[in-house]
Amino acid sequence: MLPDTFNFMLIGYGIILGSLGCYILSLAWRWRHLKRQQQELAETLEKKT
């Protein structure tokens, strides 16, 4: 008889795919944050000159 380890499989794949999703979201968040910062700095530089 096969051992019932289905829940462990679900947890394992949940962690793998969830972590990858979180990392991809973190890349997107950092990109947006830097773009905003870049825009603000460009505006500040423009005002100075």
Partner 1 sequence: MLDRHNRLLAALDLLTTLLMAGAAGVVFFFTPVEATMGAVQKVFYFHVAANWAGMLGFIVAAVCAGGYLRTGSSAWDIAESAAVEIGLVFTAIGIVSGSIWAYSAWGTFWTWDPRLTTAAIMVLLYAAYFLLRQGIENPERRARFAAVYAIIGIISVPATFLSIRMFRTIHPVLVAGEETLGLTPAMQAAFFFSLAAFSFLFASLFWHRIRLGRLAEAVEIQQSQV
- Residue numbers of the site for partner 1 (CB under 8 A)? 2-6, 8-9, 11-13, 15-16, 19-20, 23-24, 27, 30-31, 34-35, 37-38, 41-42, 44-45, 48
- For residue 48, the minimal CB distance to partner 1 (Å) is 7
- For residue 49, the minimal CB distance to partner 1 (Å) is 10
- For residue 28, the minimal CB distance to partner 1 (Å) is 9
CA distances from 14 to 5, 22, 35, 37, 49 (A): 14, 12, 31, 34, 52
CA distances from 17 to 3, 7, 20 (A): 24, 15, 5
